[in-house]
Structure 1
Amino acid sequence: MKRVAQFLIISLICVHINAQDIAVLKYKGGGDWYSNPTALPNLISFCNERINTKIKSKPETVEVGSSDIFQYPFIHMTGHGNVFFSDEDAENLRNYLISGGFLHIDDNYGMQPFITKELKKVFPDLDLIELPKDHPIFNSAFSFKNGLPKIHEHDGKRPQAFGLFYEGRLVLLFTYECDLGDGWEDQVVHNDPEDVREKALQMGANIVKYAFEN
């Protein structure tokens, strides 16, 4: 009963705190949660300029098992390798998502087998579902008629966007074989052409706008 009461209090608070801020999710398992350090600051700058958000320019870092995650309506997660959620981490993340939070997981290459397993700890009865091309997230600010754009080539697979839906609401987006975060980084990091970076930033803005408004 005490844990339920604490969850309800946190849920009520999180609606009002940092209404348009973003945080990076720090997780266990040895994966490089800290990769793409220039990505989110660049995405934030793009969103503030192009879709009129008021996001703080420097994203905070929050641990998956911390109550601090409830202060942010949007959390971004990335990496290349292993991910591990303890039971407490999974419960905290579940409570965050069902109380209105949104998690974007961007596979930076090699993350997929680990994160899909750990998400079963968070929502044992839910499966990742591929979003159709006409899902509103692909048109919330900029139009992507073909769905998720391809930013970086790895294994020759098509880019895919998967979602977890809780009671009809998209609470988690997993972008795979796309590497949006690499496209958000400073141009000198990956030497991506400007049109590719623009696509990545536009799709990122779509995700942010959708998360803030739904």
Structure 2
Amino acid sequence: MKKSWMLLLLIYSFCPAQEIALLKYSGGGDWYANPTSLPNLIKFSNQNINTRIKMKPGVVEPSSPDLLSYPFVHMTGHGNVVFSDSDVINLRNYLTSGGFLHIDDNYGMDEFIRKEIKKIMPNADLVELPASHPIFQKPYPFPGGIPKIHEHDGKRPQAFGIFVEQRLVLLYTYETDLGDGWEDAEVHHDPAEVRLKALKMGANILNYIFNN
């Protein structure tokens, strides 16, 4: 298993440009929310941390064999999520073979996605990442851990992870709404400093994936 994900990372390192993707899931939730977020994150990362990511992200379904082509897959939305048996098997294979899934609750996903994560990784628990975790350290320091971008229920922002052989393979960000902060300025009218904070945290996630 370890050899397989190392091989995937080796392949990615020799590619002239990586491609990341948005997860198109079933269940009725709006998987397509925040259409400008990934392009803006890609642009910021390519300009500031020397990533080489294709500007147009892909769209991939959980059961598609194409899932294994992407080192990073982003998932967001506000509502219900349902993974079929084939989705679960393919996502588990993806995560244990070198892939990375970032799930960003856009408000309203939490009660649904936690059950689906457990289906994918039944023997692993979501654990809250401490502020000392490397994903918060570079290239931009976040000494307090995951930043708060949008206020919803007055709860503190949290970042949870699933680990396979000590490798973080799934990141679930809750009560932060990073994706809203990545969107075009006119969408949510966030102050420039808030958007920059969100983009920097997103760049940290990509940096962690491509350099660990």
Category of TM-score, reference length = shorter chain = over 0.9
State the 1:113 CA deviation. Answer: 1.0
Specify which of 76, 84, 87 is matched with residue 85 of structure 2: 87
Q: How does 1:193-208 map to 2 (within 5 A)?
A: 193-208=191-206
Which amino acid in 1 is paired with 2:115?
A: K
Structure 2 match to 1:128 = 126
Cα distance in 2 between the residues matched to 1:38 and 1:183: 10
The SS at the match of 2:160 is strand
Q: Deviations over 1:60-113 (max 9, x none)?
A: 100011010100100000000000011110010000010000000000001011
Question: Residues 10 and 132 from structure 1, CA distance in 2 versus in 1: closer, same or farther, beyond 3 angstroms?
Answer: closer
Deviation, structure 1 residue 15: 5.3
Q: How does 1:37-48 map to 2 (within 5 A)?
A: 37-48=35-46
**1:135-165 C-alpha deviation (Å, 9 max, x unpaired):** 0000121000000000000000000000001
TM-superposed deviation, 1:29: 0.3
Query: What TM-score do you get using the length of structure 2 for normalisation?
Result: 0.93
Is the Cα contact below 8 Å between 1:14 and 1:70 reproduced in 2? Answer: no
Q: What is the aligned partner in structure 2 of residue 5 from structure 1?
A: none
- Unaligned ranges ≥5, structure 2: none
Partner of 1:16: 11
Shift of the 160–13 alpha-carbon distance from structure 1 to 2, 3 Å rule, reads closer
Output the CA distance in 2 between the equivalents of 1:31 and 1:153: 21
How many residues are paired up?
207
- Supply the distance in 1 between the matched residues of 2:70 and 2:159 (Cα, whole angstroms): 22
CA drift of 1:16 comes to: 2.3
Give the percent of matched residue pairs that are identical in Structure 1 and Structure 2.
Answer: 66
Q: Quick one: distance in 2 between partners of 1:12 and 1:85?
A: 27
Contact between 2:5 and 2:98, CA under 8 Å: does it hold in 1? no
How far has the Cα of 1:10 moved from its partner?
11
Cα distance change of structure 1 residues 33 and 11 upon mapping to structure 2, 3 Å threshold: farther
Structure 1 residues 123 and 133 mapped into 2: Cα distance closer, same or farther (>3 Å)?
same
* Alignment equivalent of 1:72, drawn from 70, 75, 98: 70
3-state SS of paired residue (1:171): strand
Specify every segment of 5 or more residues in structure 1 that has no aligned partner in the other structure, as ranges: 1-7
**In structure 2, distance between residues paired with 1:74 and 1:11:** 15
1:85 is paired with a residue of what secondary structure? Answer: coil
Contact 2:29 2:78 in 1 (8 A): yes
Instruction: Tell me which stretches of 4 or more aligned residues in structure 1 moved more than 6 Å.
Output: 8-11
- Structure 2: which amino acid aligns with 1:190? H
Q: 1:10 to 1:177 in 2, by over 3 A?
A: closer
**Partner of residue 99, structure 1:** 97
Counterpart in the other structure of 2:161: 163
8 A Cα contact 2:5 2:96, kept in partner: no
Give runs of aligned pairs for residues 112-191 of structure 1, distance below 5 A. Answer: 112-191=110-189
Q: Which amino acid aligns with 1:22?
A: I
Letter in 1 for 2:60: V
